[in-house]
Amino acid sequence: MNNVENIKITVDATIKQALKVISDGAAQIALVVDKKGRLLGTLTDGDIRNGLLKGLNLKSPIKEIYFKKPIIGKKSDSRQKLLKISLSNKIHQIPIVDKNKKVISIYILEELIKPKIYSNEVVIMAGGKGMRLRPLTKNTPKPMLKVGNKPILQIIVEKFKGSGYENFVICVNYKSKIITNYFGDGTKFGVKIRYIKEKKRMGTAGALSLFKKKPQEPFFVINGDLLTNLNFNKMLDFHILHNSKATMCITECNINSPFGEVRLNNEDIQSIEEKPIRKVFVNAGVYILDPSCINLIPKKFYDMTTLFKKMISKKLKTISFPLGEYWLDIGRLNDFKKANDEHNF
């Protein structure tokens, strides 16, 4: 049984608010209640991802996507009964309600909150020169710039470690000794690190062709200049569930047009929208690849987007995983300033 006050939300909450509740809570679920605390339904990470893929955005209310017929338990139910309900219905969380349907607690199947160690490797691309961040990167590789009191690269490693990943490969090139001297073999960070050293720049995918021993299971690839609260385990589950060869994390982006948009029907003007805002999904720089993908990568400069285009042309399974959590690509000086202004890492 667990305290539920921090995972309760009302039906008028936004997807963004719900994501924060889910990601911050150990239960990995939000309980939708009315003003009197009575249970209306539940909301999971999967419900939100599906909503985003159907066109909703972070400001959309959850009323369209939450599950309205959850399986519930009673205050008087024994632990054995709740365990049986969990296993028979293949669910990890059961809201516990009183006779008035007010939520008083939640039962969580132990495996859900037990720390789990993943053997999947995490490849971090840290070889770029970071030219757009000069002069900060004149003597320091971009992934080693500090946000707060830690290098970006350390924050990435610690985020993955906190999710149960301990096997890292860091691809290095520009001022690589600064990185290798700082991290070593990873022992002082509680992980295992090995390096792929690029003799020349290889892009966001090319260095994968230099693997001496290829991974035996799906592995992450992440750009070394990202800050995110992405749920890596959910992404891996999503990749495996869909039997994907390659999964790309995507995030929503608003594109502001500086002009009025004129819509036509032949020569007739149908409407005029002044400086419209278009919502699009963009590449977030986090991927999961099947080991077989490495065979498609030539030993030269090669970007991840080119790899995905090749896989699509070959009709190999490629899918997207929408990101609603915090995400920041530190590509320019104002991004670096923003990271330090709002960092909570």
pLDDT at residue 112, as a whole number: 45
Closest by CA to 171, choosing from 138, 191, 141, 132, is 141
pLDDT at residue 21, as a whole number: 87
pLDDT at residue 9, as a whole number: 92
pLDDT at residue 115, as a whole number: 63
The CATH number assigned to the domain with range 118-342 reads 3.90.550.10
Q: How far apart are CA 32 and CA 106, in angstroms?
A: 13
Domain spanning 5-113: CATH 3.10.580.10: yes
* Local structure of 334: helix, strand or coil: helix
Q: What is the pTM of this model?
A: 0.72
- Alpha-carbon torsion 21, 25, 30, 35, what sign? negative
pLDDT at residue 306, as a whole number: 96
Q: How far apart are CA 339 and CA 225, in angstroms?
A: 11
CB 221 within 8 A of CB 246: no
Closest by CA to 317, choosing from 250, 235, 234, 239, is 239
Please give the distance of CA 182 from its chain centroid, rounded to a whole number: 26
Question: Average per-residue pLDDT in the chain?
Answer: 87
Closest by CA to 26, choosing from 46, 6, 49, 47, is 6
Strands of 39-43's sheet, edge to edge?
8-10, 30-33, 39-43
pLDDT 10s digits, 120-133: 999 999 988 777 77
Sorted by where each begins, the domain ranges of the chain are 5-113, 118-342
Q: How far apart are CA 286 and CA 148, in angstroms?
A: 22
Query: Which residues of the chain are modeled with pLDDT < 70?
Result: 1-3, 109-115, 343-345
pLDDT at residue 274, as a whole number: 81
pLDDT at residue 324, as a whole number: 81
pLDDT at residue 45, as a whole number: 87
pLDDT at residue 178, as a whole number: 94
CB 218 within 8 A of CB 242: no
